[in-house]
Structure 1
Amino acid sequence: AVKCMRNKPAYFAERLYKSMKGLGTDDSTLIRVMVSRSEVDMLYIRREFLSMYGKSLHSFIKVSS
């Protein structure tokens, strides 16, 4: 909760990353975050994801699915 309040885009970027990292994808988390944030702050989340993980969110989703 504190992490989310400090930097929402970083919080959601981390949630997305963790949903796709390792074996298998946590589809429900991935879909929930993508849909719920799509009109709110997805652009900022995408920027934060790239900054944090060195890959675009799009390319990471493509490889994970």
Structure 2
Amino acid sequence: MKAKILLCSMLILGALSYAAEPAPTDSVAQEVMSEVKNIEAEYQALMQKEAERKEEFKQEKGFKSKMA
């Protein structure tokens, strides 16, 4: 009976200590997250540039139609 109680308490403590471990902070995970953020920033910059080009095209198209 004591062995079962001891075993159960060890399992519970092990589960609690495992659950309390912080998120992985190794260098590989940090490097991957950094690359993902860089890619997202580049994507946002490209989307902004595309929106600006689209607006310029609309303005040129409107200007040409007024000239015709």
TM-score with structure 1 setting the length: 0.25
Higher helix proportion (structure 1 or 2): 2
Question: Quick one: higher RCO (CA 8 Å, sep 6+), 1 or 2?
Answer: 1
Greater radius of gyration (CA): 2
